[in-house]
Amino acid sequence: MELFPMKACAIESRRRGQQLVGPIDLTLEGQGATVVIGPNGAGKTTFLQLLHGTARLSAGRIDWACSTEEARHHQAFVFQRPVMLRRTVLENLSYPLRLRGVSKAKAEERARDWASRVGLAQLVTRAATVLSGGEQQKLALARALICDPKLLFLDEPCAALDGRAMREIETILQEAKAAGTRLILSTHDLGQARRLADDVLFLLGGRLHEAAPAEAFFNGPETPQARAFLRGDIVE
């Protein structure tokens, strides 16, 4: 079952008369990582939520290569601030598998494997809510990936993390991408965008100003707004 190509047709998000995102037309295909960049307030989070279905479209539509229900079943979303269940690390990791009908024994076996993959093997009995920010983000990633999603959305996955935690998170993402999980993530960190992106979407004022392969975008963006953003100028 394939999710792509995904086509967003004139999608918009409006709230209380304010245009937050759109209209945006976009087609995404194939594998790899799409990185969404732009200044604060550009609409990156809302845009990801619209694609994922956790925010309601005010106009337009999103067409997947399969039914919308199937597409959402094979997706996961990691938030900027991880949401932790008030349970142990092991129980947090087991939870999505148990929801899908996996037996407790098998769910815990896979949970321990994923805890080891992300460096949390020694913390499986610890309450998730007392983990450090970096540990919680790794747990959130593992919990999202444990069901083998075909598509993973991430909203600023390394915001407020130190360099070591960021490097560990990026390693997990590169491994997930190599294993075939399609990534769509937003980031404010241009260094991270350069390291992870196969293609780039540049948002400004809720509109898609530029979409290009990563190498082309970073070597020669077409719009003056994108060039200014890459220089570190204030863009409004």
Whether 210 and 44 have beta carbons less than 8 Å apart is answered as no
Whether 192 and 184 have beta carbons less than 8 Å apart is answered as no
**Residues paired with 10 in a beta bridge:** none
The stretches in the chain having pLDDT less than 70 are none
pLDDT in tens, 123-169: 999 999 999 988 999 999 999 999 999 999 999 988 878 888 889 88
> What is the model's pLDDT at position 154?
96
Amino acid letter, 158: C
At 9, list the tokens.
């047709």
> What is the model's pLDDT at position 113?
95
Domain borders along the chain are 6-48+56-80+151-231
Those residues whose C-beta lies under 8 Å from the C-beta of residue 72, and which sit 6 or more positions away, are 52, 53
Those residues whose C-beta lies under 8 Å from the C-beta of residue 9, and which sit 6 or more positions away, are 25, 60, 61, 62, 63
Fold of 6-48+56-80+151-231: Rossmann fold (3.40.50)
> What is the model's pLDDT at position 158?
87
Query: Cα–Cα distance between 156 and 80 in angstroms, integer?
Result: 5
Predicted TM-score of the model (pTM): 0.94
> What is the model's pLDDT at position 162?
84
Query: Cα–Cα distance between 126 and 123 in angstroms, integer?
Result: 5
DSSP letter string over the chain? ----SEEEEEEEEEETTEEEEEEEEEEE-SSSEEEEE-STTSSHHHHHHHHHTSS--SEEEEE-SS-HHHHHHTEEEE-SS----SSBHHHHHHHHHHHTT--HHHHHHHHHHHHHHTT-GGGTTSBGGGS-HHHHHHHHHHHHHTT--SEEEEESTTTT--HHHHHHHHHHHHHHHHTT-EEEEE-S-HHHHHHH-SEEEEEETTEEEEEEEHHHHHH--SSHHHHHHHHT----
Whether 157 and 118 have beta carbons less than 8 Å apart is answered as no
Query: Cα–Cα distance between 51 and 110 in angstroms, integer?
Result: 29
Percentage of the chain with pLDDT > 90? 83
> What is the model's pLDDT at position 72?
92
